[in-house]
Structure 1
Amino acid sequence: MMKVKHRLLIVCTSVTLFMWYSVWFKTNPTITILEKTVGMEIAKTYPYSKMKYILQWTNPNTEPFLYMGRGQQTFIKRRCPVNNCFVTSDKTLLSDLTEYDAVLFHGPEISKHLIRWPRRRSQHQKFVFVSKEASTNYPLFYQLYNDFFNWTWTYKLNSDTYYGYVMIKNKLGDIISPREDKHWLKLEEMEPISEKLKNKLDSKTIAAAWFVSHCVVKSRRNRIAKLLQKELANYNMTIDIYGSCGTKRCPRYQANKCLRMLERNYYFYLAFENSIAEDYVTEKLLHALQHYTVPIVYGGANYTRFMPDGAYLNVRPLDIKGLARQMVEIITDKKKYYDFFRWTNHYSYHYGEEFPETDYYCNFCSQINDVEAVKRVSRYENFLAWWNEKNRTGPRTGT
Structure 2
Amino acid sequence: MAFNKMLLSGPMKRRLLLSFLCLLSLCLLDGWLTSNQGLLPVNVLRNSSSSPTVTVLLWHWPFNTSLSLKGDVCWDLYRIPHCKLVDRRSFFSSADVVVFHNKELIRGHQKLPVDFPRPPGQRWAWMSLEAPVHNGNLRRFAHVFNMTISYRRDADVTVPYGELLPKEADGRVTEDVSLNKSSLICWVVSNYRRRHKRSKVYKELKATVPVKVYGRWTKTPLPSEALLPTISRCYFYLAFENSLSKDYITEKLWRNAYLGRAVPVVLGPQLSDYRDVAPPNSFIHVDQFTSVGEIGKYLQSLAEDKKRYTDYFKWKLKWRVKLHTDWRERLCKICPQYNRLPQQKVYSDLEAWVNAKNT
TM-score, normalization: structure 2?
0.72
Give the C-alpha shift of residue 105 in structure 1.
Answer: 2.1
Q: Which residue of 2 aligns with 1:157?
A: 153
Q: Which residue of 2 aligns with 1:279?
A: 247
Give the C-alpha shift of residue 152 in structure 1.
Answer: 0.8
Q: Detail structure 1 runs of 4+ shifted over 6 Å in the superposition.
A: none
1:105 aligns with one of 90, 94, 100: 100
Do the aligned partners of 1:81 and 1:362 also contact (CA within 8 Å) in 2? yes
Q: Which residue of 2 aligns with 1:260?
A: 229
Q: Does 1:197 align with 2:197?
A: no
Give the C-alpha shift of residue 126 in structure 1.
Answer: 0.6
Give the C-alpha shift of residue 337 in structure 1.
Answer: 0.9
Do the aligned partners of 1:137 and 1:218 also contact (CA within 8 Å) in 2? no
TM-score, normalization: structure 1?
0.65
Give the C-alpha shift of residue 295 in structure 1.
Answer: 0.4
Do the aligned partners of 2:85 and 2:332 also contact (CA within 8 Å) in 1? no
Do the aligned partners of 2:156 and 2:341 also contact (CA within 8 Å) in 1? no
Do the aligned partners of 2:58 and 2:85 also contact (CA within 8 Å) in 1? no
Q: For residues 146 and 376 of structure 1, what CA distance do their matches in structure 2 show?
A: 17
Q: Which residue of 2 aligns with 1:310?
A: 281
Aligned alpha-carbon RMSD (Å): 3.3
Q: For residues 341 and 316 of structure 2, what CA distance do their matches in structure 1 show?
A: 39
Q: What is the percentage of aligned positions where both structures have the same residue?
A: 23
Q: Which residue of 1 aligns with 2:294?
A: 322
Do the aligned partners of 1:277 and 1:300 also contact (CA within 8 Å) in 2? yes
Q: Which residue of 2 aligns with 1:378?
A: 345
Aligned AA for 2:144?
F
Structure 1 residues 78-118: Cα deviation after superposition (integer angstroms, max 9, x where no partner): 3443264132253xx14xx5432112222233445694552
Q: For residues 231 and 96 of structure 2, what CA distance do their matches in structure 1 show?
A: 45
2:204 aligns with one of 222, 227, 235: 227
Structure 1 residues 150-187: Cα deviation after superposition (integer angstroms, max 9, x where no partner): 111111011111121111112359xxxxxxxxxxxxxx
Q: For residues 262 and 295 of structure 1, what CA distance do their matches in structure 2 show?
A: 11
Q: Does 1:133 align with 2:105?
A: no
Q: For residues 124 and 289 of structure 1, what CA distance do their matches in structure 2 show?
A: 42
Q: For residues 375 and 158 of structure 1, what CA distance do their matches in structure 2 show?
A: 14
Give the C-alpha shift of residue 239 in structure 1.
Answer: 1.6
Do the aligned partners of 2:214 and 2:222 also contact (CA within 8 Å) in 1? yes
Q: Which residue of 2 aligns with 1:338?
A: 310
Aligned AA for 2:77?
R
Q: For residues 295 and 261 of structure 1, what CA distance do their matches in structure 2 show?
A: 14
Question: Cα distance 1:218–1:226, how it changes in 2: closer, same or farther (>3 A)?
Answer: closer
**Alignment map for 1:54-133 (pairs within 5 Å):** 54-57=56-59, 60-63=60-63, 66-70=65-69, 74-75=73-74, 78-82=77-81, 84-90=83-89, 93-94=90-91, 97-111=92-106, 115-119=111-115, 120-133=117-130
Aligned AA for 1:352?
H
Equivalent residue of 1:337, what SS?
helix
Structure 1 residue runs of 5 or longer lacking an equivalent are: 1-49, 174-190, 233-237, 393-399
Aligned residues: 301
Equivalent residue of 2:160, what SS?
coil
Q: Which residue of 2 aligns with 1:145?
A: 141
2:355 aligns with one of 367, 388, 391: 388
Q: Which residue of 1 aligns with 2:264?
A: 295
Structure 1 residues 6-45: Cα deviation after superposition (integer angstroms, max 9, x where no partner): xxxxxxxxxxxxxxxxxxxxxxxxxxxxxxxxxxxxxxxx
